[in-house]
Structure 1
Amino acid sequence: MKLIVGLGNPGANYCGTRHNVGFEVVDEVARRLDLVFRSGPADAGVASFPSVSGERESVVLVKPLTYMNRSGIAVGALQRYYRIRLVDLLVITEDVNLDLGRIRARRKGSAGGHNGLRSVIDELATEGFSRMRIGVGRGDPKRGLAGRVLSRFTESERPVIDEAVGRAADAAVLFVDSGIDEVMNVFNQWETEEPES
């Protein structure tokens, strides 16, 4: 069984913000697999895809409802509840330090200044889980980091992000079928074009 977690903040106020790209990716995976999120065993929205005659491994998609900085609470609880091995966990989040639309997958690593990842690392007591970051651009530097990640994409940025969300959903499905190494081989090389200002 695989556990795929998209990080973000719950509620309409955060919908469409840079911080919620992880939610957008798991929403897209759920749409493709015809799944619906429901209240889960932890403070999270959960959608599950049972294995059907060995076609694909069982998948649990997760949107923690604990808010970004406390994401680890839900992730840790679900990892224990479903008895997920760390090699079978993928956490998806935004990255303001990656170019808009760029995807970077890693087998393990630090939080890199991301509070949601820091919470997951703290709760699991390890950096040894796969993560995929989606570049959301730097936004308006005058707003500070919190203001930037909570801002919405501009009209010219949105198509780039929509394409990146689709590619990240492809990467998440590839993770289920082939693991993080294949995701890294295929998706870390992808180049994107910056929108014109």
Structure 2
Amino acid sequence: MDPEQESGKRRGPFLVVGLGNPGLEYLWTPHNAGFLAIDRIAAQERVTVDNRRCKAMTATCRIAGREVVLAKPDTYMNLSGASVSALVREFEADPSQDLLVIYDELDLPLGTFKIKERGSPAGHNGARSITGALATQEWLRLRIGVGANLPPEALAAGASIRRGGKDYLLTPMRKADLTVLDEVLDKVATATRRILEQGPSTAMNEFNRKDQ
């Protein structure tokens, strides 16, 4: 029997929110890794993220026996918290148990990702907005590495790319980098399922290895 039925309480949906910026000009930029992850999960689950709800485009599916809402905020990155807080209220979700946010991380190298149960925004505008809107850092996040893998001459010509991050994050990725990211997105989708199937601790033990 479903554990929720045994306890007499039906849990609401689990929210999986990917962060990014709306608009075709941002589609293939590093800052949209969270959007791309949601699209990959949706494609594998055979659903389309096209329902406008809570300042986001959403889709609903079932993973590991639980209803899951996939969401891409249609606010810009630095206002992501408005959408996430609206989703949390709409579905009466507990951010510490019913929410996973997927976003890009400049401090992690491209080709990697990390799962973390809580923590500071660490300079990420979307994460900062969510923490502010929810008034807590207790929410699960999966950070996709987008650290610049540029040739030495490019770094020498534009050192500000690595230091400031903004221009690089909003510039379309090179084809070679998109190939690397494409492989990571499949792993991110698998990790998301593992979180739902066995919990964050098991997923972190499996996917946060240094040899990932």
TM normalised by structure 2 equals 0.84
| Match among 182, 187, 191 for residue 167 of structure 1 | 187
Q: Amino acid of the residue matched to residue 160 of structure 1?
A: V
Structure 2 unmatched runs, 5+: 1-12
Contact 1:103–1:190 (Cα < 8 Å) also in 2: no
2: distance between equivalents of 1:191 and 1:43?
38
Q: Amino acid of the residue matched to residue 121 of structure 1?
A: T
Q: Alpha-carbon deviation of 1:155?
A: 2.6
Q: Alpha-carbon deviation of 1:50?
A: 4.6
2: distance between equivalents of 1:130 and 1:10?
23
Q: Alpha-carbon deviation of 1:72?
A: 0.4
5 Å-filtered alignment, 1:41-120, equals 41-50=53-62, 56-86=65-95, 87-120=97-130
**Equivalent position of 1:14 in the other structure:** 26
2: distance between equivalents of 1:191 and 1:134?
15
How many residues end up aligned between the 2 structures?
189
Q: Secondary structure at the match of 2:176?
A: coil
Structure 1 unmatched runs, 5+: 193-197
1:122 and 2:132 matched: yes
**Equivalent position of 2:200 in the other structure:** 180
Contact 1:29–1:173 (Cα < 8 Å) also in 2: no
Q: Secondary structure at the match of 2:22?
A: coil
5 Å-filtered alignment, 1:30-45, equals 30-45=42-57
Distance 1:157 1:45, change over 3 A: same
Q: Secondary structure at the match of 1:156?
A: helix
Deviations 1:99-152 (A, max 9, x none): 111111001111011000000000000000000001001365334321011122
The alignment's C-alpha RMSD in Å is: 1.5
1: distance between equivalents of 2:181 and 2:62?
29
Q: Amino acid of the residue matched to residue 167 of structure 2?
A: G
Q: Percent identity?
A: 37
